[in-house]
Structure 1
Amino acid sequence: MDDRPDPVPLSETARMFTAVPIEITVCVGRARPLIRDLLQLGENAVLTLDRRVDDPVELYVGDRLIARGQLEELDGDRQGQLAVRLTEVTDLEAGLA
């Protein structure tokens, strides 16, 4: 059984852009080191982020937050590849109008 939701009906304006590829950035956390600490970073250094492994990640198109979700690791022939299970999606249609 396919667990994808039914497609959202698109306005004429939105339909014009459905074949245009976009880049989605997934933000897993932020770090705010002092410049002196940043200058001392080297190979194998660890930069601590402001989030935990199980915290939600944020998905952005440009600077616009479009969704939140949980990181997952895929199984099978794609084992080790990261994915995001969406838990909250903004009203994308309103942003295109």
Structure 2
Amino acid sequence: MADTPEAETGHPFTRVPIEVTVSVGKAHPKVKELLSLENEAVLMLDKKVEDPVELYVGDKLIALGELQELDGENAGQLAVRLTEIADLSNGL
């Protein structure tokens, strides 16, 4: 059993990718306003640019962070710097 890939790298589930969703805010338009949106319309969110973003796996909040734009080889790529990790047993 020691020759199996699982024995070399740990549990096989550790290699399964998950999706992390980053929430920057929410909008609360009325249906009438939503139906009248056109190209170039601006939908105001309930957050400011400097407010932390929330990271979720499924519907579970796992961390807070700050949006950042990468430099160098990945210039222009959007990223998140984690500022607070959730205590999953007690919440943030």
TM-score interval (norm. to shorter): 0.7 to 0.9
What is the TM-score when the length of structure 1 is the normalising length? 0.77
What is the TM-score when the length of structure 2 is the normalising length? 0.81
- Show the counterpart of 2:4: none
Query: Identity across aligned pairs (percent)?
Result: 63
Structure 2 residues without counterparts, runs of 5 or longer: 1-10
| Paired positions, count | 80
Matched, 1:54 2:71: no
Q: Kindly report structure 1 stretches of 4+ aligned residues shifted beyond 4 Å.
A: none
Structure 1 or 2, whichever has the larger Rg, is: 2
Higher relative contact order (CA 8 A, sep 6+): 1
Structure 1 residues without counterparts, runs of 5 or longer: 1-14
Secondary structure of residue in 2 paired with 1:18: helix
CA RMSD of aligned residues (A): 1.6
- Cα distance in 1 for partners of 2:72, 2:12 equals 36
